[in-house]
A and B are shown apart, each in its own frame.
Chain A
Amino acid sequence: MSAIHSSQLAFLAAHAPFNRMEPAHLLWMLERMKLAYYARGDVIVSPEQGTAEHFLVIKQGMVQGEQNVADASVADTWLELSEGECFPLGALLANRPVASVYRAGKDTFCYELPVADFHTLLEMSLPFRDFCTRRIANLLEHSKQVIQAQYTQSGAEQQSLTSPLSAIIRRAPVTCAPQTSVREVLQQMHESRIGSMVAVDDAGRPLGILTLPDVLVRIALPQIDLAQPVIGVMTKQLSTLPPQALAHEAALMMAKQGLRHVLVVDNGRLVGLVSEKDLFAMQRVGFRQIGSAIRHAQLLEELQQAAADTRSMAHNMMAQGVAAEQLTQFISTFNDLLTARVIELECTASEFCTTQLADRLCWMALGSEGRFEQTLSTDQDNALIFTVPDGMTEDQLRGQLLPIAKRINDTLALCGFPLCRGNVMASNPQWCLSLEDWKRTFSNWITNGTPEALLHASIFFDFRALYGAHALAEELRLWLVRVASDNTRFLHQMAENAMRLRPPLGVVRDFVVGKEHMLDLKLNGITPFVDGARIFSLAAGVTHTSTIQRLRASAAMMKVHPNEIEAWIDAFLFIQVLRLRHHDEQKTRGVSDDALDNLIDPERLNELDRRILKEAFRQARKLQARLALEYHL
């Protein structure tokens, strides 16, 4: 006999994953559930109880997870779960005891489903299974759809840059054999009204491409013999992508390399051609146009326009739900292009002969720029590295470089990259050094480990080459990982320092969000991941600078399971998305570049985002726990 009041179903249906489950499955679950009461402080489930026996959903109240550390005095609250959340998924899925003690933080009622029914439900309900097995990924997907829905007004008719190329290809590619005569090919291009022709071999593998602009330069002007095989006048360096690659990857490739076409190749075989025009339909301003505008800019106004276009494109991409990783990568790519162009222009304006010093100088990006993690709010963090030519002293060279560096910094500031408040810029004599001096400086930081040295390390150790002699920065990088990975004392100090920033427990009422009731997404959200990844990478001798690549590349050395790494990365990226959205909103409201911040009011997030953010913080704490274990903190 059973009667379930609809309000109970309604309660569940207000929370993920139950809101996606079929009502019949929900009812099935609810009928098998017991409602249990736990007074504040009662243990709900603990490792000592053995294999987890119930799936619990909090009906009301709050549950705290505590790490079951041997030393009870440092028992650490690990997570806070509130109404509508469920636990302990990991233990249930793996048929093991829970890893934490779950305790009622206040008087709490939980719906409890026996483990056998939990497994039946996993089989029965796809949304439920998906949620349980890919919790954070699933929530993120959910959130992405919400974002896309929110932004649709701003780009309703735009085909999404997140569509795979296979969906964009309009028709089968028109191809020819490599030995076809130039005349025949031109004839066919004319008849079929196509702008390009790809030569393929018998197996359909692309060998070369001829485009209309090529006709002018390679055929008409040199007046070549039209009877010769077309392959001789084709471009043979082909840019290809697989069909499952996304539209924005093609756009980025065109922008970086100045191309008009990207070949879509499946298992070596040509399956289609994506032109700039195809992608243009999706964007008011094409990626390549911005790229090309930057490359050919002569005036400050042109650079400023390109910087503005980059931002509005970032806004559109956000609207289309492009993932944070690609978005920050996009922003970094264009900021790099812009910086490089500013350097070129300022060098020319100063009549500084770049060619002479080209192999002796390198402009380095530091901090978030060095990690390819720029958002729309990015101070300049840069430095110069050089080798001194014969017949010149270091000071003489620096004397020449500093005024130019100053002009570069100032121009970048005019393009929307505010000057660094801490003066971490190439125009600062302290950060315009020879390779040897950089090694000496880094050495000092590593051996001294003063708070100031650790702070510097957190900015400078994310350096990468942006313009000039990349080899110099690369040499410094190789030297650094060798020195740092041997210095466990320094790594220990870095870890200790990183642990000072604890990710918040809850998001809203449970977390002291400062007097303004604001949460700092950078300090509390991003920094734990960035710091952790830097330490892992230095310890593991990994040369990458991006947080994601650092985590992936050091996983094996740190003996962290890839799934766990991916969960950290998902969490990190989600917080990045929130930051990007926040900056985007601020810009829309007319906040100036140097006034953008990372402070959000958690109350204003929707329920789903709040939950994901909480989950993201939980992942940050897991990463820190890993750090603590590694360095005995």
Chain B
Amino acid sequence: MFTRLAHLLGKRMQLSAQQQQRLNAWKDLPHAALDAPFSGTRCVVVDVETSGLNLMEDRLISIGAVAMVNGQIAMGDSFYVVLQQPTISHKKNILLHGIGGAEQTEGAPATDALLAFLEYLRKDPLTAFHVTFDETMIRRAMRQFLGLSFKHPWLDMAYVMPALNPVLAGRRRSLDDWINCFDIRNDARHNALADALVTAQLFQVALAQGRKKNITNFAGLLDLERAQRWVRGEN
């Protein structure tokens, strides 16, 4: 435990003055107003690829994100980074996300990659499908490489979609289930950027559905998610 902590502190010490400055600048950004209407806000839809599904052991390999600006996906306002890996992930894992060994070792140094992500994100709220996974992986990496306790508002489409479509919900669980349901085509499944894009498309469907229920801001959808968790007996 102590060695691990030391390791973490050690990494943190490695932030250069400039990197520290970038991190501070991000920290100083004002928090987003979650009750602002979607028609005038930005939020970021994110997806990550990892070396495996173990939340404590596996490493973050790539982050893909697209921004939803005023309810539309801004194609130019998107983000993708592959983090430099100390060791290459298993072959099976490579086959899943398609990021090969060379690409893994040639990726951006984790510190820079994460700082770039923060600068891209600003303080705008995050959305993902099955947040627990993405959030945990990103949090762990933020703590490990930036010494940052990354506490951020997250919205989980895995709860929002069934809440808005109780009839359709049935046995639908995965991202694939839901995108198929709305005929959203994913041309590159298990690429973090492509998955983020289809998640964002799903988010757009949710926004349109939410409008009909007078849900017009992020906070409204968070309430919906919370209610859905309660329905499922998770809270």
Contacts and interface: CB of A to CB of B under 8 A. Distances in A.
B72 A112 contact: yes
B162 interface: no
B79 A107 contact: no
Interface stretch (A29-37, A121-129, A503-511, A611-619): A29-37
Contacts of A37: 201, 204-205, 207-208
Interface string B104-136: 000000000000100110000000000000000
Interface string A436-447: 000000000000
Contact of B184 (A7, A42, A109): A109
A36 B183 contact: no
Nearest to A110: B72
B197 interface: yes
Nearest to B67: A1
Contacts of B193: 3, 5
Contact of A31 (B76, B182, B187, B209): B76
Contact of A34 (B75, B201, B205): B75
Contact of B75 (A6, A33, A38, A106): A33
Interface string A1-43: 1111111101100000000000000000011111111110010
B69 A34 contact: yes
A5 B184 CA distance: 16
A5 to B, nearest CB: 5
A3 B79 CA distance: 5
Contacts, number: 84
B43 to A, nearest CB: 14
A60 interface: yes
B80 interface: yes
Nearest to A112: B72
B197 A60 contact: no
B184 A35 contact: no
A372 interface: no
Nearest to B200: A35
A1 B79 contact: yes
Chain B, interface residues (CB within 8 Å), range: 20 to 34
Nearest to A1: B120
Contacts of A525: none
Q: Looking at A2, A33, A39, A106, which has the most chain B CB atoms within 10 Å of its CB?
A: A2
B78 A109 contact: no
Interface string A82-120: 000000000000000000000000110101100000000
B143 to A, nearest CB: 24
17 contacts: A1-B120, A2-B75, A2-B78, A4-B76, A5-B187, A10-B187, A31-B76, A33-B75, A34-B74, A35-B197, A35-B200, A35-B204, A36-B73, A36-B204, A39-B205, A60-B185, A107-B183
Interface of B: 64, 69, 71-80, 116, 119-120, 182-185, 187-188, 191, 193-194, 197, 200-201, 204-205, 207-209
Q: What 7 A-B pairs come out closest when comparing CB atoms?
A: A7-B187, A3-B80, A37-B204, A31-B76, A35-B73, A34-B72, A7-B188
Given A5-B197, A11-B187, A32-B75, 12 more contacts: A3-B80, A4-B76, A4-B78, A5-B64, A33-B76, A35-B73, A36-B71, A37-B208, A106-B183, A107-B183, A111-B75, A112-B72
Interface of A: 1-8, 10-11, 30-39, 42, 60-61, 106-107, 109, 111-112
